Structure 1
Amino acid sequence: MHSRIGLFLSPVHETGQDPHLAIHRNLELVDLADRLNFDEAWFGEHHTLGWGLVGAPETLIAAASQRTRQIKLAHGVVPLSGHHPFHVASRAVHLHHLARGRYILGVGPGVPFDGGMFGLNPPEQRKRLDEALPVVLELVNGEQRITRKTDWFELADAKLQLPRYGHGPLEVALATSGTSVSSPRLIGRYGLSMTSFALPFALLTPGAPEHIGLAQQWKHAEEAAAEHGNTMHRENWRIALPVHVAETREQAYREVRDGYDRWLFEYFGKAAGRTVLAPGASRDRMLEDRVEAGGALVGSVDDVVDGIRRLQEATGGFGTLLVYAADWTTYENTNRSLELLARHVAPRINGFDRRPQEAVERAISARAEQAGGRTAG
C-alpha cells in the first residue's frame, strides 16, 4: 500500500543542542517512517545558518538505505551549482544501488545563503543549474558519452562506469518554490518530477492563497512539457509543508506554538535575516495565520484530512504530501504525530479504510435482512 505521505528532513534543528544527537535523530525518524509505511524520506543539504546541520546528505541516505525496508530515499536536494555534475551522477547511481532502486535524485540551484559562501549569486546558481542538469540526466539515465566545457566544469568523453540499478530510469526531481517560472519550465522541458516547497508563501502575508502559487507552478510545467513533447504526471508531484497532528486541535497548537515561534523568528528572522512579521500582523497569531493560508497543517486528524483534501482540490491534485519535519516540538510529540498520520490520516486520504467499514456495514445489513425474513415468515 502507498500512503502518499513522505517525510522531508531539511533538516533543521534548534541551536543549543548536541549536533551529534541531532544528526542521529534524523535516521531515527526515517526508521520510524519506514515502519509506519511512509512512501519517501528526503534529505536536504545546507552549509550555513546553523540550524541546517546536514552538509553531506548522501551519507545519511547511504546509512538509511541499510536500515530501512521499503521507504524510498531522496536527495532534497543536490544544489547543482555547487557540485561537479559528474560527481552528482556518480553518487546518485551508487546510492541507487545501495538502496536497491529506492533512491530518487532531487536537484535544484542551491539556496542563496550557501551560494554566497562559495562566491555565487542567485543568477549564477540558476545559470549553473541550467548547464549541469542535462549533463547529469545523460550521465544517470543516458548511454552517450559527454564532452562539455563551461567556465566551471569540463568533461571529455565522459560516461559512468557503473550502470544504474535495474532496467528503468532513475527518477529525477527538480525543486521549485515561490513564484518561480524557470524551475517549472525546466521540469516540463526534461519531463522530470516536481517537488514544490510550500514554505515561503505564507511567511509574510496572513491569509495569502497558498494554493494559487502551487497551481501556477504546475501550469508552467505542463506548458513547457507540451512544447517539448513530454507529459507531466501528477502522481510524481510532491508538495512539502509542515504538518503536526494531535488528538485535538487545541493540543496540536499547544504542542508546536513555542517551537514554531522560535523556528520563524530565530531561524528565518535572525539567522536568515528575513522579515517574518507583516505590518499590522500579530505575533501571537502567526501560527494560525500560516495554517489558514495553507502554509502548514496543524490540528486533529479531521483537521489535517480536511486540509489535505482542500489542497488536492485547489491544486488540481498531487501525488505525495511531504511532511516537513520542522523540529517544532518534542521528539515524543513528533513521533505521535507521524503515527497519527500513518494510522488515521493516510487511509482516509487514500480510501484504504473503506473495505473494513464496508465489511462492517455488510454484516449489519445481512443480519437485518435475516431478521426481516424471519419476521415475515
Structure 2
Amino acid sequence: MQLEQDVELAEHADRLGFDEFWFGEHHSGGWQIIADPLLMVARAAATTRRIKLGSGVSTLAYHHPKMLLDSVIQLDHLTRGRLMFGVGAGALALDSSMMGLDPMHARQAMEESLEAMTLLLADAGPVTYTPEHASWRLHEAYLHLAPFSEQLDIRVAVFNSASGPRLAGRFGLGMISFGASAAVAMGRENRMQLAFEKASYMAERHGQVLDRRRWSAMSPMHIAPTEEQARAQAREGVVRYVDYIRQILPMNVPVGSDADDIIDTLHIAGHGVVGTPEMAIAHIEKVQELSGGVGTFLLEHAGWAGHADTRASMELFATEVAPHFTGSTRTRQAAYARELQHDQLTRRTMAAAQAAAEARHTVDVRTDRMQRLQQLRDQPPAHLHDDPHPDPHPDPHPEPPDAAALPAERLHLETVPAEQSSQALPVPVPAADRRSGRHRFSWSSR
C-alpha cells in the first residue's frame, strides 16, 4: 500500500505543477522501504506527463558502477530526459553491514564509483579501473548507449560531511542538501553556505562551474489551513519519525514522546515546519537567504501525516506557498485589484448596454408592427375588388370570409370595441355580433 501511495503522490505532484519528485534507497529500518528508486521512477514515469523524477539517492557503494549507469541511461531514454540521478554514500550503517561492507569506507567507495562513471560518460575510450575500497572492477569498459539528455543530471547528496560538496565541485555536479536548515535558527553554523564554499573550492581546482539551479535544499514540512490542524494531523507520525531519525542521523532532534514539544523544537532548530502556508513561506525564505539561492526546495515526505492529509498539504503548498516564489498568480492578482479600483465599471457598463439593447428591441418591434399595419391599410378590402361577373341581386348582409380559408399559422382573431372601429379594416360585420363590437382578421409576423 505504501509503495502505491508513493506513486500516487508523484502523480498528484505532477498534476499540481511540482517540478521534481525523488525516491530514496533503503534496505533496513522499516520506515523508508523503497529498495530500488529506479524501479519507482520507471513506474511513476508511466503515469506522469511533465514532472522530473529522481533517485534520491542511489547508494553507489552497493552497486557496480557500469551496471548501475547502464540502467540509469536506459531509464533516461524511457523518461525522455525526465530522469535525475541522485547519488550518495548511504545513511544506514545496517545496510552496509548486511552486505558485508564497511560503512566507514562508504564515502571512499562512493567517490571511486562516481569517478568510474564520469570516465564512462566522457566516452574517451574503454575504461579500466581498479578501486581501493570496493570489490568491483572495470576492464576495458564502455557504454553502448549514450544518455538521452545532452548532459545527464547527476546530483550528490550533501549532509554534514565535506565529502558530498567536494565531489560535487570536483565533477561539476548538482547537490541535494539534506537537513540543510537544521540548527540554523539556534545561531549555529550555516551549513548550506559552508557546503557551497567547499563545492566552489573544488570546482575551481578542477576547472568546473557550479550551477545553483541544480542545487536542491530539503526540509520536512506538513501544512494545513491552521497550525492547530497541522499539529493534530502530524501528532502521531512526528513522534515515530523522530524516534527513527535519531538512530540514523546526527541531527539535533528532541528526546521525548510529546508531539508538541517535538514540533516546537523542530521549529526552533529550523529543521522543518508543521504549521501554515505562511510559516512555510518564512522557512523557505530563510533557506534562500542562508544559501544565497538554491534552484529547488524539496519537501521531505517524512510520513508525519496520513495519505489524505499529505495530499491536502501538497495542494495547499501548490496554491498558497509556491505562487509566492514563482509569481504565477501575480498577474491575476493585479488584474483583480485593478477591477476593484474602477468602482463597478463593468457592472455599470453592462447594465447600460443591456438597457440600450432592450430599447433598440422595443423600437424595432414597434416599427415592424407599424409597417405591417400600413401594409394592411394599403390593401383594398375584398368586397371592393372589381368583379367581372357581378351578382345582380347582392345580399345586403353578406357572411364574413371563411376563417378556414386563411393561413392558420398567420391568423389570429381580435375583438375591437365599437368605439375603435374606425381603426379597423372595412370588413363586413357579422350580424350576430353588431351590438358587442367588431371582429377583424389580421396577419401577424411572429
Structure 1 pair 209–198 and aligned structure 2 pair: CA distance change class (3 A): farther
Which secondary structure state, in structure 1, belongs to the residue aligned with residue 46 of structure 2?
Answer: helix
Quote the offset at 1:339 in angstroms: 0.3
User: Does the Cα contact within 8 Å between 1:247 and 1:300 map onto a contact in 2?
Assistant: yes
Quote the offset at 1:360 in angstroms: 2.2
Structure 1 pair 284–103 and aligned structure 2 pair: CA distance change class (3 A): same
Partner amino acid for 2:148? Y
Aligned partner (choices 259, 262, 281) of residue 305 of structure 1: 281
Aligned partner (choices 134, 148, 151) of residue 169 of structure 1: 151
Separation of aligned partners in 2, 1:334 and 1:238? 21
Aligned partner (choices 183, 194, 212) of residue 216 of structure 1: 194
The residue that corresponds to 2:141 in the other structure is: 158
**What are the superposed Cα offsets for residues 176-235 of structure 1, whole Å, 9 maximum, x if unpaired?**
112x11211111111100001017945xxx954477112211111112112222221222
1:248-267 equivalences in 2 (<5 Å): 248-265=226-243, 267=244
User: Does the Cα contact within 8 Å between 1:297 and 1:304 map onto a contact in 2?
Assistant: yes
Aligned partner (choices 107, 110, 114) of residue 95 of structure 2: 114
Matched, 1:105 2:81: no
Matched, 1:52 2:32: yes
Which secondary structure state, in structure 2, belongs to the residue aligned with residue 240 of structure 1?
Answer: strand
Which secondary structure state, in structure 2, belongs to the residue aligned with residue 77 of structure 1?
Answer: strand
1:1-377 equivalences in 2 (<5 Å): 21-111=1-91, 112-140=93-121, 142-151=123-132, 152-166=135-149, 168-178=150-160, 180-198=161-179, 201-202=182-183, 208-209=186-187, 212-265=190-243, 267-269=244-246, 272=248, 284-365=260-341
Separation of aligned partners in 1, 2:188 and 2:178? 11
Which secondary structure state, in structure 1, belongs to the residue aligned with residue 157 of structure 2?
Answer: strand
The residue that corresponds to 2:375 in the other structure is: none
User: Does the Cα contact within 8 Å between 2:236 and 2:259 map onto a contact in 1?
Assistant: no
Separation of aligned partners in 2, 1:352 and 1:141? 39
Separation of aligned partners in 1, 2:289 and 2:185? 18
Which secondary structure state, in structure 1, belongs to the residue aligned with residue 284 of structure 2?
Answer: helix
User: Does the Cα contact within 8 Å between 2:55 and 2:84 map onto a contact in 1?
Assistant: yes
User: Does the Cα contact within 8 Å between 1:244 and 1:252 map onto a contact in 2?
Assistant: yes
Quote the offset at 1:48 in angstroms: 0.9
User: Does the Cα contact within 8 Å between 1:198 and 1:210 map onto a contact in 2?
Assistant: no
User: Does the Cα contact within 8 Å between 1:74 and 1:106 map onto a contact in 2?
Assistant: yes
**What are the superposed Cα offsets for residues 258-285 of structure 1, whole Å, 9 maximum, x if unpaired?**
21011112x235x659897658997741
In structure 2, the gaps of 5 or more residues are 347-446
> Which of 1 and 2 has greater Rg?
2
Which secondary structure state, in structure 1, belongs to the residue aligned with residue 216 of structure 2?
Answer: strand
Separation of aligned partners in 1, 2:322 and 2:182? 25
Quote the offset at 1:367 in angstroms: 5.8
User: Does the Cα contact within 8 Å between 2:273 and 2:283 map onto a contact in 1?
Assistant: yes
- Share of identical aligned residues, percent? 34
Partner amino acid for 1:136? M
Count of matched residue positions in the alignment of Structure 1 and Structure 2: 343
Structure 1 pair 82–249 and aligned structure 2 pair: CA distance change class (3 A): same
Which secondary structure state, in structure 1, belongs to the residue aligned with residue 190 of structure 2?
Answer: helix
Quote the offset at 1:113 in angstroms: 2.6
User: Does the Cα contact within 8 Å between 2:253 and 2:265 map onto a contact in 1?
Assistant: no
TM-score (norm 2): 0.72
Quote the offset at 1:312 in angstroms: 0.8
Which secondary structure state, in structure 2, belongs to the residue aligned with residue 67 of structure 1?
Answer: coil
In structure 1, the gaps of 5 or more residues are 1-20, 371-377
Structure 1 pair 275–135 and aligned structure 2 pair: CA distance change class (3 A): closer
User: Does the Cα contact within 8 Å between 2:181 and 2:270 map onto a contact in 1?
Assistant: no
Q: Higher mean Cα deviation, 147-156 or 254-263?
A: 147-156
RMSD, matched Cα = 2.6
Quote the offset at 1:59 in angstroms: 1.1
Separation of aligned partners in 1, 2:123 and 2:171? 13
Relative contact order higher in (CA < 8 Å, ≥ 6 apart) = 1
Quote the offset at 1:139 in angstroms: 2.4
Quote the offset at 1:119 in angstroms: 2.5
**What are the superposed Cα offsets for residues 1-48 of structure 1, whole Å, 9 maximum, x if unpaired?**
xxxxxxxxxxxxxxxxxxxx1111111111111111110111111011
Separation of aligned partners in 2, 1:281 and 1:41? 31
TM-score (norm 1): 0.84
User: Does the Cα contact within 8 Å between 1:211 and 1:315 map onto a contact in 2?
Assistant: no
User: Does the Cα contact within 8 Å between 2:21 and 2:54 map onto a contact in 1?
Assistant: yes
Separation of aligned partners in 2, 1:197 and 1:53? 18
Which secondary structure state, in structure 2, belongs to the residue aligned with residue 76 of structure 1?
Answer: strand
Separation of aligned partners in 1, 2:253 and 2:39? 36
Which secondary structure state, in structure 2, belongs to the residue aligned with residue 48 of structure 1?
Answer: coil
Separation of aligned partners in 2, 1:272 and 1:135? 28
Which secondary structure state, in structure 1, belongs to the residue aligned with residue 31 of structure 2?
Answer: coil
